[in-house]
A and B are shown apart, each in its own frame.
Chain A
Amino acid sequence: MASPLVDALDRGLARNGEDVVLRRVIGNGSNTTNIDVTCRALVRSFRLDTVEIAPALAQNILVVILSPTQIRRAQWPGGTAPQDPAKFVDPSIPRRLDILVIKDRVRTIESVDPIDVDGEIVRFNIKALG
């Protein structure tokens, strides 16, 4: 059963959020495959700020609050290879260089802060660039 905190977040996101696609890209070069899940999220710009990546070329900084509900329901990203227990990282936690597709624009996740309450992740605070 989901935490009341997750339920409250989901209610808020249902009213005020939007659908985004969380994407993990497997492989590189010419052979890649995407693992997608559509999530509910609240997307805001960070003080309308941008990061300059070249003269006259900047990318937006977005702050995204993402619910874990759709990730759990889809069991995203699915089956994964065994990990060294000493270095275990939960594959269902979005990570740097995963993709968010927001309003049909591809944004790259820069950092993720999973908010954990009593051993359960109740939301993801994400900074994305693009």
Chain B
Amino acid sequence: MDSPGTFVLAARQITVPLTQEIQTSIENLDGMEAVTIEAQFQYGQGGAAASAVVQTTMDGVTWRDIARFDFTNLSVTKTATIAAVLSYPIAPYVPLPAEGINDGALGNQLRALITSTGTYANTVLSVRVSAR
């Protein structure tokens, strides 16, 4: 691929509620065959729920969910790997309403959407990827 390596899709404090806050995208990932995603939630106080949705695009306009990580009031690190090297049967695209992955499809960009409810304090969410 063009630019294999590790990238940060999001790293931010979570305070006031966020509604699908779009983080700027990581670009120039042409030829990406797999990506391992690590989402780390460092919980402080308050809040109710938070989620990070990782998306990819094939046209730079329409973004599709490939992984979703959900968090509540507990510090936790979660990982997932998405691969696009095998053949997959035809399946309709469905956005991820809860934690899970849509495997098998990777475009040339990645980004994260952050959502939270309740007001957190001293809480940090980071999403890092290793693209290869």
Contacts and interface: CB of A to CB of B under 8 A. Distances in A.
Nearest to B75: A31
Nearest to B54: A79
B9 A79 contact: yes
Contact of A74 (B5, B123, B124): B5
Contact of B23 (A27, A30, A32, A79): A79
A73 B94 CA distance: 33
Chain A binding surface, main DSSP class: loop
Nearest to B43: A31
Interface of B: 3, 5, 7-13, 21-28, 40, 42-44, 75, 111-112, 114, 122-124, 126-128
Contacts of B111: 79
Interface residues of A, number: 19
Main secondary structure of the interface of B (DSSP, over half): strand
B24 A80 contact: yes
12 contacts: A26-B11, A26-B124, A27-B42, A30-B44, A73-B3, A74-B5, A75-B7, A75-B26, A78-B10, A79-B9, A81-B12, A81-B23
A31 B9 contact: no
A76 B5 CA distance: 12
Contacts of B8: 35, 76-79
A31 B5 contact: no
Contact of A79 (B26, B28, B123): B26
Contacts of A32: 42, 124
- Candidate in B3, B7, B25, B27 with the most chain A CB atoms within 10 angstroms: B7
A33 interface: yes
Nearest to B128: A78
Nearest to B110: A79
